[in-house]
Amino acid sequence: MTSIDSAARLRRIAFCARTGQPIDPADGLPFADGVDAWWAGHAPLDQALGLNAAGRGKPDARRALLIDERETALREMAEHFGGPVDSADGEGIHEIAECLAEFARWRWPDMRAAAICPANLVGTDALAWQILRSLGGKAPTRRWLADFFRS
């Protein structure tokens, strides 16, 4: 299990706790085992929960999950706009960059402290929030977007 999987599991557990839903045993048992290992003194809490970085210079579990979610959101946004994303001058790149810049300028300042995507955001606004969260609220350049879609 990767650190991304562990971070995603903790996010699902937090969602269940926040909404009063029961925690899936597939998520709860590894979590309980990690907490037990920590209480027994066998491992630091982040290691016991599987949240350690994958190696030296690698992003921690939280950062790795944010990057993974950002990549998924960028691909979904590209599908939504449907224009070509093969170069920095592509129509799809322009639309994505414009959408992210507008969201960063007008909506991000009020929402940057939110731990989870605000419920009133849907569609491209929700995707924009997710993308900007992993980029510190700064809209990426068209060149960065083109490089992302090329890789």
Number of residues that make up the chain = 151
The answer to whether 80 and 123 are in contact (CB under 8 A) is yes
Q: How far apart are CA 97 and CA 76, in angstroms?
A: 14
Q: How far apart are CA 42 and CA 62, in angstroms?
A: 22
Rounded to whole angstroms, how far apart are CA atoms 75 and 82?
A: 10
56-80 pLDDT per residue, tens: 766 678 888 889 999 999 999 999 9
Angle 148-104-92 (CA atoms, 0-180°, nearest 5)?
A: 40
Q: How far is CA 137 from CA 79, 130, 140, in A?
A: 22, 10, 9
Phi, psi at residue 77, to the nearest 5°? Answer: -65, -40
**Alpha helices for 60-122 (secondary structure H):** 61-81, 91-106, 108-111
pLDDT reported for residue 53 = 59
Q: What is the pLDDT of residue 115?
A: 83
pLDDT at 1 over 70: no
How far is residue 101's CA from residue 111's CA, in Å, rounded to a whole number?
15
pLDDT at site 85: 84
Domain locations in the chain?
A: 3-52, 63-150
